[in-house]
Amino acid sequence: PVECAMFQCGGCWAVLGDSLHLCAQEERRIGLLVCYRVTNNVVWEDSLMIGLEGALLGCAYNVLSCQSCGSNVGFILYSAPSDLAYLRGLFCFFKDSIICYLLEKQTTIQASKVNFPAVTLEE
């Protein structure tokens, strides 16, 4: 497929997931790529964090980290206000924390600069 990409940790380039498992993008508040499946290089804390400010205010979530270098790469929402509820239980990568290897072009680019075809679970 033309739009295929691997999602890699911005710190150590470990492969975290790919665009075949991309199920949503959230641009308005946080800047996320949302996947329903990730690699074993993604680990999460058992304890829940509570957002006290910013875009995750009032949300309960598990932090996602890169197993190789420990970088914070995203979160899994446990509970959220209604406008973010569609993201609950999914792997949410911060676009600013990951890079994309574009298979067709064989280039690496910041995820925040990549526009994938529209996919959304919000509806």
CATH number at residue 80: 2.170.150.20
Low-confidence spans in the chain with pLDDT less than 70: 1-2, 117-123
Report the domain count for the chain. Answer: 1
Does a structural domain hold residue 120? no
Task: Give phi and psi for 54, each to the nearest 5.
Answer: 75, -155
Which residue range(s) make up the domain with 60?
A: 5-113
The pLDDT, as a whole number, for residue 12 is 96
**What is the reported pLDDT for 6?**
94
Asked if residue 121 belongs to a domain, the reply is: no
User: Does residue 122 lie within any of the structural domains?
Assistant: no
Q: How many whole angstroms separate alpha carbon 77 and alpha carbon 8?
A: 21
Question: What's the pTM?
Answer: 0.89
**CA–CA gap between residue 111 and residue 94 (Å, rounded):** 9
DSSP structure class, residue 36: S
| pLDDT at position 117 | 65
Q: How far is CA 62 from the centre of its chain?
A: 12
Distances (CA, A) of 110 to 35, 47, 63, 78: 17, 29, 21, 27
Q: What is the pLDDT of residue 123?
A: 46
CA angle 23, 48, 80 (to 5 degrees): 50
Beta strands in 1-95 (DSSP E): 5-9, 15-18, 22-26, 32-35, 42-44, 49-50, 60-66, 72-79, 91-94
67 found inside a domain: yes
